[in-house]
Amino acid sequence: MSQNIIEPGPRALRIAEICVLTGLGRDSIYAAIRDGRLTARKIGRRKIVTSDDLRQFLAGLPRAGGHEQVAVRSSEAEQARERA
């Protein structure tokens, strides 16, 4: 017998709720919507984001502390040494 498991929590969030949940600012959220990185939907005058779209947006953000950042820092240090 298969079970139908429904995730707890809201299916859609308002922008203010997203800001509280993620710690991101309102301007950052609207910029992500404007740039097409975060999908928003409109109902009346209100913009909402589905929990699936928010999850996908967050998963698509770059990881902090990756090798790319280390490589940039080491090349910047080498350039600074060459200038000195």
| Residue predicted with more confidence, 15 or 67 | 15
Per-residue pLDDT, 10: 80
Tell me the per-residue pLDDT of 6-59, one tens digit each, with 9 for 90 and over: 667 789 999 999 999 999 999 999 999 999 999 999 999 999 999 999 999 999
Predicted model pTM: 0.66
Tokens 């953000």 map to which residue?
Answer: 61
Q: In what order do the strands lie in the sheet with 12-14?
A: 12-14, 46-50, 41-43
